[in-house]
Amino acid sequence: MSTSVVTGGAGFLGSHLCDYLVAQGHRVICVDNLETGSLENIEHLKGPEFSFVYQDVVDGIWIDEPVDYVFHLASPASPIDYLRLPLQTLKVGSHGTANALGLAKWKRARFLISSTSEVYGDPQVHPQPETYWGNVNPIGPRGVYDEAKRYAEALTMAYHKQQGVNTAIARIFNTYGPRMRKNDGRASVTFLNQAIEGKPLTVFGDGSQTRSMCYVDDLIRGLYLLATSDEHLPVNIGNPGHELTMKELAEACIRVAGSSSTIVYEALPTDDPLVRRPDITRARAILGWEPEIDLDEGLRRWMRSLGHTPVG
């Protein structure tokens, strides 16, 4: 049985990864300080194959037993969180990543870091391939997250090249699904809950900015395939087939919820990217990975998890 450490394992993506790893026969050690994660996300995981360690990865990571994989997902990930926690975001990207890499080196484990499409900033190349270096404002409000992840990637590659750590870098694009916090602040969870409650959906700007939406089950499958591969260079994980405007995403949530909600518009946040779509050529070639769940089906699954009956 392989043993996997998942930092940030009580969060949205981390808890789904814990589920998947347990289902694959792994023993899973979930490490989280619960700053943005929740014990509710992992309370169903009990028994000898799963354990929870309350620990802030910025202060260090102490695991006594052998470890085969380290999945480093710890970090505030939504704008509402990293704008509230700018120093913590920078520290988890720097000190936290160094500690996670140190654990992987000590245990001779395969290391995977969850990076982000935000390393591309407000891109001037579309769709974004891994070879694109990005267009990031390092001192803007989003810079604490963007630059934390860019630094974490650089640190990961340095550990691989100089220390011989077996590393992987996943650049995650917009992902949605069950266990996103209602007050997360990201568009998909805000829109769906507003539609369910019959409230106006708040779209920033004129709603023409685009995102590519990947259902969480597809994303987690991609992370696992990358972790169990031999690849070291960054790989985009996202759904290029579901690039849609924020207005279209709002309309999809209204449609699936069977809601009578209207759409209202508010000012566009500073440095909000205008386009976002992954080029997943490398993921297809290296991992044989393709997203399988379309947007309406993903939204319906999410609604059912919330105890609501979707339309269609």
Annotated catalytic sites, by residue?
145
Structure tokens at 281: 């050529």
> Closest Cα partner for 235 from 243, 247, 226?
226
The token pair that represents 203 in the structure block: 């779209």
Q: What is the DSSP string of 260-312?
A: ---EEEEPPPTT--S---B--HHIIIII-------HHHHHHHHHHHTT-PPP-
**In contact, 226 and 168? CB cutoff 8 Å:** yes
List the structure tokens of 110: 């395969």
Q: How many C-beta atoms surround the C-beta of residue 312 within 10 A?
A: 9
Q: Are 56 and 10 in contact (CB under 8 A)?
A: no
Instruction: Select from 119, 146, 147 the least CA-distant residue to 134.
Output: 119
Least Cα distance to 296 among 242, 232, 227, 220 occurs for 242
Q: Which amino acid is at 61?
A: I
How crowded is residue 213: how many other Cβ atoms within 10 Å of its Cβ?
A: 26
Return d(Cα 110, Cα 234) in angstroms, integer.
15
Looking up tokens 């997943």 gives 280
What is the helix (H) or strand (E) element at residue 12, kind and residue range?
helix 12-23
CA dihedral over 10, 11, 12, 18, signed as positive or negative: negative
DSSP character at residue 200: P
